[in-house]
Structure 1
Amino acid sequence: MISKATVDTVFETARVEEVIGDFVLLKRAGSNFKGLSPFSEERSPSFMVSPAKGIWKDFSSGKGGNSVAFLMEHEKFTYPEAIRYLAKKYNIEIEETEQTDEEKANTDVRESMYLVSEFAKTYFHDTLLNSEEGKAIGYSYFKERGFTNETIKKFELGYSPEAWDAFTKEALGKGYKLEFLESTGLTIPRDDRPFDRFKSRVMFPIQSMSGRVLGFGGRILTNDKKAAKYLNSPESEIYHKSKVLYGIFQAKQSIAKLNNCYLVEGYTDVIQFNQSGIENVVASSGTALTPDQIRLVNRLTKNITVLFDGDAAGLRASIRGIDLILEEGMNVKVCTFPDGEDPDSFAKKTSYDDLVLYLENNAKDFIQFKASLLMNEAKNDPIKKADLIRDMVVSISKIPDRIQREIYIQECSRIMDISEQVLVSTLAQLVQKDVVEVGKKQKQEQKAFEVVKNENPVDAEKVDTLGIVECEIINILLSYGNVSEKFEGVLIGTNPEGEVGEVVVKKERKVYEEIYLSLQEDEIEFATGLFKEIYNDLISVYLQNDDFNLERYLMHLKPEFAQIITDIVMNNEKYVLHNWEGQNIFPKTKLEQLNQNVTDNLFTLRWYLISQFIENAKNSVSKESEIDNSEVIAEIMDYIKLKTKFSYKTGRVVVRYH
């Protein structure tokens, strides 16, 4: 079990924008950062990170929290694993305390599969470097491919021995359970004797964006025609090949920094490019490109350059992938290599400078690529040329941005020597067809969830004024509790003319003191149960500590409380997503309005509670003539005067919500 001291050090060291920046392309938005949600499909940023508060909020999915919460949501880490990941990232030594039997029993299936996969990666890598068989076969193969020792270690390449059950026996001997060896696909079950799936193969670990081992690719080195040249781990609880890109762990920082991602087909393409000095490269690992894989890149950059060798089959396949990339609102280019060359072979014999220059000079826009690829086939055949143009317009129709579509239509018109009007008309038909299809799909979905109309509909739910005000007061405490302001107060005293009456004075207090003392003075308590609990806890922390730290406070809260507090604090950051400054609109900051905001909310809370009292008192007035209601009525009149005074003090009419 990880010690509390280690956990505290991790929380104090980890910076939320750095942790999330490894997975999501973040752009500065004022004092915050924004980016595309990694939890939903979107093209406009709704994901906000606040470095000052140490928290994040995804407005599209409602998720939020600190850096540990992000890792648990995004990478499906357990809490201890998220702490270990951050400790490794920030080079923090982990102090261990003995784990209880109950804690050991709570280790779930997915975690066990990850542990088995991590062990397998270490075993294969060690076998490659240190066993006689591994060095003679696996290591020799990688050296023949031109891979250096640094490259082999960077990608943690390995070798699985020729013996039928060498790995399985080793894993079982180390205490790993057979069920998890089988569920990860590392071991194939058989009644008499389970055996290794990847026997006699060089191994390529497939990692998630955070570096977790999800599965493996294995290449056979013998001439066995019955065996597949490349073999991948089967689909499992932790490995879904359509959602994984090989090399993303090693490439993520370079992709974000250079704002471009090179997409290749195979493991060795990625590795050879890395060794040549180009690290922003990933591979679809021989599978057809999928939307999930594209979204993985979309979190880091909007730009993809697809690299293909010159064979016709590969180029045809690339066309299908291009349309998928365009649908995700990304910019795509295509670069092909000379006949007989692929990314691996070309990078191996080309210097870094020449390779960069080649990629820059030969990367074509998808319109130019389609035209150059298919024009030779069309040549003087009008029908084939018409099909080619239609095919190009289909690709353009996939682009969500209308301005980009317009620009590409102009480019297509220029290249293919055809009027823009015809292309625009064809594009409009395609777009309208897509709209109709989406409409049909939505209607089908609505039919599946039809609800019988209520003949006696109830009134819309009333606005919870009290909850809104209490929520805002908590928000102020969380964000600005320790800020000092000069608040107005009323005392009975003598004015300059010598008259006795109310005298307005200004006294400097911290915000939490003003809120606490004001509510204490009027003997007001929060009415909403959850907010009352949070308010009391917050005030207790402020009264006992001179220095309140939101990130540290969140560390020690129950997860459900931490989520609620994150929602409250980050809700104010929504306006940053709209880029008002870019439209020459400069709203006042929360800090600039702090004094007024505190005063307004305290008066509104009093006003609302007094309104409730007046309504209750009115209902208690008896209509029986023999009962004397004068005392109740007098009390009601006094409270009405006080309510009017509060409205005057705030300089506005407080809206009645009921």
Structure 2
Amino acid sequence: MITRETIDKVFETARVEEVIGDFVQLKRAGSNFKGLSPFSEERTPSFMVSPVKQIWKDFSTGKGGSVVTFLMEHEHFTYPEAIRFLAKRYNIEIEETEVSNEDKAIASEKESMYLVSEFAKKYFQETMLNTEEGKAIGLSYFKERGFTSETITKFGLGYSPESWDAFTKEALSKGYLLDYLEKTGLTIVKEDKQFDRFKGRVMFPIQSMSGRVLGFGGRILSNDKKAAKYLNSPESDIYHKSKVLYGIFHAKQAIAKQNNCYLVEGYTDVIQMHQAGIENVVASSGTALTPDQIRLINRLTKNITVLFDGDAAGLRASIRGIDLILEEGMNVKVCTFLEGDDPDSFARKNSFEDLVLYLETNAKDFIQFKASILMDEAKNDPIKKADLIRDMVVSISKIPDRIKREIYIQECSRIMDISEQVLLNTLAQLVKKDISEADKKFKQDQKAFEVVKTETQFSQEKVNIIYKLERKLIEILLLYGNHEAEFEDVILKLNEEGETIEIAEKNNYKVFQRIFLSLQEDEIELANPLFKEIYIDLIARYNQEEVFNQEQYLQQLPEEQAQMVTDILMQDEKETLHNWETKHIYVKQKDQTISQYVSETIISFREYLINKLVADLMNEFTVNQEIDVEELKTNINDYNKLKVVLTNKIGRIRSTYY
């Protein structure tokens, strides 16, 4: 078990904006950072990171929390794994107490699969570096490809021996369960036999954005025509081929820094380019490019440059991928190599300077690329040329941004020597068709989920009022609990004539004291169990601690409470997502009039309770006609007078809730 001291040190050292910045492209937004959600498909940023509060919030999904929570959500780490990841990143030595057998037994299934995969990576690399067979076959192959020892170590390259069960036997002898060897696809189990999936192959570990081993790619070196040249791990709970990009772990920082991502086809393309000095490069691992893979890049940059060799099939594949990239609202260029060259061979033959120059000089905009590739096929055939032009307009129609679409229409008109108006008309038809289909689907979905509003739903709306008021009280306690402000107290005194009069006195209170005393005076308990727990805990902490530390408070909370507290803390930050200042609309800061803000909230709470009492009296009368009508009127009248007194204290009558 990791000691409390180590955990505290990790939280004190780790910076949420630095860690999340490795996974999401963040841009400054006032005192915060914003970016595209890594948990949903979106084109407008709704993901907010607060360096001051050291928390994050994803307004598109409702998720949020500390730096550890982010790693648990995004990378599916367990809590200890997230702490270890951060400790490694910030060079913090981990102190541990002895782990019990019970703790080992409750490790999650996914965690066990990750552990097996990490063991496999080490096994394959050690086999290649430390055995005669590994050095003669695996290491020789990588050295022939021009990979240095540093590159081999960096990418975790290895070798699986030419034996039916060498890896499986070793893993079982180390205590790894056959069940997890099978689930990761490392071992194939048939009846009473089990054998290695990657027998006799050089190995390429496939890592997540945080560096966790998800699966493997294996290349066979023999001339066995029956065996596939490349073999990938099968789909599993931790490995989803369509959602992974090879090399993303090593490329993420360079992609964000260069604001561009080079997309290639194979493992060796990535490694060779990386070794040559071009580090912002990833591969789709031999699969057709998917929207999930594009979104992975979209978190880091809006710009993709697709690199392909001169192979016709490859170029065709790139054209299909371009439309997907455009559909995600990204900018795409294409760079091709001369026939006989690919990114791997070209990087091997050229210096870093020549490689950079070639990529910059030969990267074409997708319109120019499509025209140059397809015009050879069309030649002087007018029908084929018409089809080509329509194909180009279809690609342009995928672009969400209207201004970009018009610019590309102008470019297409110039390149293809065709009227801009004709292209615009064609584009309008395509866009109209897309909108029509989207609208049809939306109406079908609406019809499928249409429900009749029931009494239960109406009751829920009423419940939401008290929920919002209680949430507001918790928000005030979290943000301003220790602030001191001047509040007005009404004291009842006897005047010289012996009459009871109200005298207003101004006294200083801490905000948490004012709220606590007000709720005590009215004998109010919070209705929502979660808010009630947080409220009791906060009041206790403010009474015991001179300084309230939000970071320490968050890390000590149970998950459900931590999620709610994060949601409340980041609500203010949501305003900065809308860039109101650029529209000359300025959001009022609550701490500028904190006493008024607190007083209004408490009075709103009291108003709600009064309205509820009146409503309850009316409901009781409808059920029981024997109730004294005059007494009922008197009670309701008294409550309404009290409400007027309350609202007059803040200078305005507030609307009722019923």
Segment of structure 1 superposing worse, 55-64 or 316-325? 55-64
- Match of 2:648, as an amino acid? Y
Q: Which runs of 5+ in 1 are unaligned?
A: none
Seen in structure 2, the aligned counterparts of structure 1 residues 644 and 328 have a Cα distance that, compared at 3 Å, is same
Please state how far the C-alpha of 1:633 moved relative to its aligned partner: 7.7
2:412 maps to which residue?
412
Give, in angstroms, the shift of residue 641 of structure 1: 4.0
Equivalent position SS for 1:159:
strand
Match of 1:548 in 2: 548
- Once residues 178 and 528 of structure 1 are traced to their aligned partners in structure 2, the CA distance between those partners, rounded to angstroms, is 47
Shift of 1:443: 4.8
* Matching residue of 1:186: 186
Identity of aligned residues (%): 70
**What corresponds to 1:587 in structure 2?**
587
Letter in 1 for 2:147: F
Q: 2:626 matched to 1:644? A: no
Contact 2:29 2:576 in 1 (8 A): yes
Query: In the alignment, does 2:376 pair up with 1:376?
Result: yes
- The aligned counterpart of 2:110 is 110
**Does the CA contact (< 8 Å) of 1:370 and 1:392 recur in 2?**
yes
Find the aligned partners of 1:493 and 1:35 in 2 and give their Cα distance: 58
Tell me what 1:14 maps to. Answer: 14
Q: Assess, with a 3 A threshold, how the Cα gap between structure 1 residues 644 and 345 changes in structure 2: closer, same or farther.
A: same
Q: Matched residues in 2 for 1:462 and 1:167: separation?
A: 60
Partner Cα distance (1:152, 1:311) in 2: 28
Question: What does residue 574 of structure 2 align with?
Answer: 574
Partner of 2:212: 212
Letter in 2 for 1:370: K
- Which residue does 2:472 correspond to in 1? 472
Q: Which residue number corresponds to residue 64 of structure 1?
A: 64
Partner in structure 1 of residue 196 of structure 2: 196
Give the whole-Å Cα distance in 1 for the aligned partners of 2:626 and 2:292: 73
Alpha carbons of structure 1 residues 413 and 229: separation in structure 2 relative to 1, 3 Å: same
State the shift of 1:545 in Å: 1.0
* Structure 1 counterpart of 2:270, one-letter code: V
**Letter in structure 2 aligned against 1:512:** F
Residue segments in structure 2 that go unaligned for 5+ positions in a row: none
1:226–1:543 distance in 2 versus 1, CA, 3 Å: same
Where does 1:211-610 land on structure 2 (aligned, <5 Å)? 211-445=211-445, 461-463=460-462, 464-490=464-490, 504-610=504-610
Q: Secondary structure at the match of 2:486?
A: strand
Residues of 1 paired with 2:557 and 2:474: CA distance?
Answer: 15
Shift of residue 645 of structure 1? Answer: 2.3
How far 1:594 sits from its partner (Å)?
2.7
Q: Distance in 2 between matches of 1:589 and 1:373?
A: 57
Normalized against structure 2, the TM-score is what?
Answer: 0.92
8 Å CA contact 2:575–2:587 kept in 1: the answer is no
Query: In the aligned structure 1, how far is the partner of 2:449 from the partner of 2:612?
Result: 40
Structure 1 residues 317, 615: closer, same or farther in 2, change over 3 A?
closer
Q: Residues 13-47 of structure 1: CA distance to partner in whole angstroms, max 9, x if unpaired?
A: 22222222221112222222221111111111112
Inter-partner Cα distance in structure 2 for 1:118 and 1:616 = 63
* Residues in 1 aligned to 2:456 and 2:561: alpha-carbon distance in whole angstroms: 35
Query: Aligned letter for 2:22?
Result: D
TM-score (norm: length of structure 1)? 0.92
How far off its partner does 1:440 sit?
3.8
| Aligned AA (2:41) | E
CA RMSD of aligned residues (A): 2.8
SS, match of residue 28 in structure 2 = strand
Q: Give the Cα–Cα distance (whole angstroms) in 1 for the partners of residues 229 and 619 of structure 2.
A: 84
Provide closer, same or farther for how the CA distance between residues 179 and 526 of structure 1 changes in structure 2, counting only shifts above 3 A.
closer
Relative to structure 1, the CA distance from residue 170 to residue 450 in structure 2 (aligned partners, 3 Å threshold; closer, same or farther) is same
- Distance (Å, rounded) in 1 between the aligned partners of 2:361 and 2:158: 36
2-side partners of 1:12 and 1:279: how far apart? 31
Cα distance, 1:584 vs structure 2: 2.4
Change in Cα spacing, 1:510 to 1:330, as seen in structure 2 (3 Å) is same
Deviation at 1:574?
2.2
C-alpha separation between the residues in 1 aligned to 2:459 and 2:504?
A: 43
Aligned ranges for residues 30-49 of structure 1 at < 5 Å? 30-49=30-49
Query: SS of the counterpart of 1:332?
Result: strand
Contact kept, 8 Å, 2:486 with 2:506, in 1: the verdict is yes
Q: Is 1:132 equivalent to 2:132 in the alignment?
A: yes
**Inter-partner Cα distance in structure 2 for 1:407 and 1:70:** 39
CA distance, structure 2, for counterparts of residue 425 and residue 318 of structure 1: 27
Query: For residue 90 of structure 2, what is the aligned residue in structure 1?
Result: 90
Of stretches 527-536 and 28-37 in structure 1, the one that deviates more from structure 2 is 527-536
Distance between the aligned counterparts of 2:400 and 2:459, measured in 1? 36
Distance in 2 (CA, whole Å) between partners of 1:628 and 1:652 is 31
Deviations 1:85-107 (A, max 9, x none): 22222222222223334332222
SS at match of 1:592: helix
Residue number in structure 1 paired with 2:151: 151
Shift of 1:258: 1.5
Aligned partners of 1:633 and 1:367: how far apart in 2? 77
Q: Given that residues 608 and 657 in structure 2 are in contact (C-alpha distance below 8 angstroms), is that contact kept between their aligned partners in structure 1?
A: no
